[in-house]
């Protein structure tokens, strides 16, 4: 799994966690894993279909 995927999702969810301080750790972890999987699958599909954004795949 590409590390940039994890870093992106991790940063995004850390911001969300700061906004919503009442979210439990378990929920945050489940959301993080779920979002990470979806995000990376979408990136992989784009790569296979030849869709590129910026310099991510160069």
**Whole-structure pTM value:** 0.34
What is the tens place of the pLDDT at every residue in 14-46?
887 777 665 567 777 788 888 878 888 888 888
As a whole number of angstroms, the distance between CA 11 and CA 41 comes to: 18
Taking the CB of residue 32, how many other CB atoms lie within 10 A of it? 18
Radius of gyration of the chain (CA): 13
As a whole number of angstroms, the distance between CA 29 and CA 44 comes to: 22
Taking the CB of residue 8, how many other CB atoms lie within 10 A of it? 16
Instruction: Please tell me the predicted confidence (pLDDT) of residue 12.
Output: 83
pLDDT band at 2 (very low <50, low <70, confident <90, very high): low
Please state the domain extents for the chain.
Answer: 3-48
Token pair, residue 42, equals 């979408």
């Amino acid at each position: 799994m590409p590390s940039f995927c994890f870093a992106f999702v991790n940063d995004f969810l850390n911001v969300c966690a700061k906004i919503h301080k009442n979210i439990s750790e378990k929920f945050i972890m489940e959301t993080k894993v779920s979002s990470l999987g979806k995000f990376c699958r979408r990136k992989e599909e784009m790569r296979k279909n030849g869709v590129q954004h910026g310099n991510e795949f160069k």
